[in-house]
């Protein structure tokens, strides 16, 4: 059984145990014979609270509703992750079903053609080159995604959203990557936006900045070494 369910072994009197129905079985996970699916939430992909069960549903449920106590703040964004648990209490540890939602100043859900990408990361590889990696999940998107448009500032400090650097075809819920060509400036900013089948591009404003080093770090000089 997943470690975070252990505190529910005593008649299910913890918050997790109550939601899982473990009090009915004396603390055993057998109340979920066919397994279940758990909903989690966080302000971003790196800070999802996987210790708190927001919603527990039967394994065959096709839709979930966020409970009223977990309200949404205006001008905020949330990442929801759905994970399945088998009848033994073993939970999958993936982002296979995840979605990012945003709300406007009136607290209304911002409907976009495609979901925003998230978990965007960048690192320098093979000298002055940059590898971009991001994740996309189509859960609850308003329109089918067909590609990802990559924009950058070309080292100027201001991203050009008119002339894209490149495009990567959409191929389902997964991680994607793109390798930038050899770069000559010291700092770069990138932004990735999803484009729908109706040629509508979402207006994602999340960017990432990376500093490129074109020389290897200097080696450490050992002045003296002796046996003691």
Stretch 34-57: mean pLDDT: 88
Does the pLDDT of residue 28 top 70, yes or no?
A: no
Higher pLDDT, 131 or 12: 131
- Nearest CA among 183, 153, 150 for reference residue 167: 150
Higher pLDDT, 154 or 113: 154
> 118-211 maps to which CATH number?
2.60.40.10
User: pLDDT of 106-145, one tens digit each?
Assistant: 888 776 677 778 788 888 888 778 899 998 888 767 778 8
Q: Do domains 3-102 and 118-211 have the same CATH topology?
A: yes
Q: Where are the domains of the chain?
A: 3-102, 118-211
- Is domain 3-102 given the CATH code 2.60.40 in the classification? yes
Give the whole-angstrom CA distance, residue 201 versus residue 136.
15
For residue 98, what pLDDT band results from cuts at 50, 70 and 90?
confident
Count Cα neighbours of 10 within 13 Å in the Cβ-side half-sphere.
Answer: 3
Which region among 17-21, 121-125, 129-133, 217-221 has the lowest average model confidence (pLDDT)? 217-221
Report the percentage of the chain scoring pLDDT > 90: 15
Does the pLDDT of residue 222 top 80, yes or no?
A: no
3-state secondary structure the chain: CCHHHHHHCCCCCCHHHHHHCHHHHCCCHHHCCCCEEEEEEECCCCCCCCCCCCEEEECCCCCCCCCCCCCCCCCCEEEEEEEEECCCCCECCCCCCEEEEEECCCCCECCCCCCCCEEEEEEEECCCEEEEEEEECCCCCCCCEEEEEEEECCCCCCCCCCCCCEEEECCCCEEEEEECCCCCCCEEEEEEEEEECCCCECCCCCEEEEECCCCCCCCCCCCCCCCC
């Amino acid at each position: 059984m997943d470690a975070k369910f252990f505190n529910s072994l005593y008649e299910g009197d913890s918050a997790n145990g109550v939601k899982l129905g473990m009090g009915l079985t004396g603390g055993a996970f057998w109340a979920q014979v066919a397994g279940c699916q758990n909903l989690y939430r966080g302000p971003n992909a790196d800070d999802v609270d996987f210790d708190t069960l927001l919603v527990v549903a039967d394994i065959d449920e096709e839709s979930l509703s966020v409970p009223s106590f977990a309200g949404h703040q205006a001008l905020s964004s949330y990442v929801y992750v759905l994970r399945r648990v088998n009848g033994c209490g073993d939970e999958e540890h993936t982002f296979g079903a995840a979605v990012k939602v945003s709300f406007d100043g009136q607290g209304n859900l911002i409907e976009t053609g495609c979901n925003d990408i998230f978990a965007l990361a960048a690192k320098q590889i093979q000298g002055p080159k940059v590898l971009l990696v991001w994740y996309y999940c189509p859960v609850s998107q308003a329109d089918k995604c067909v590609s990802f448009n990559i924009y950058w500032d070309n080292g100027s400090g201001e991203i050009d959203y008119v002339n894209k650097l490149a495009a990567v075809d959409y191929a389902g819920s997964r991680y994607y990557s793109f390798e930038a060509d050899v770069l000559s400036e010291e700092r770069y900013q990138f932004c990735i936006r999803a484009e729908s089948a109706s040629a509508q591009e979402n207006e994602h404003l999340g960017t990432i900045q990376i500093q490129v080093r074109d020389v290897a770090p200097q080696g450490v000089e050992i002045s003296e070494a002796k046996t003691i």
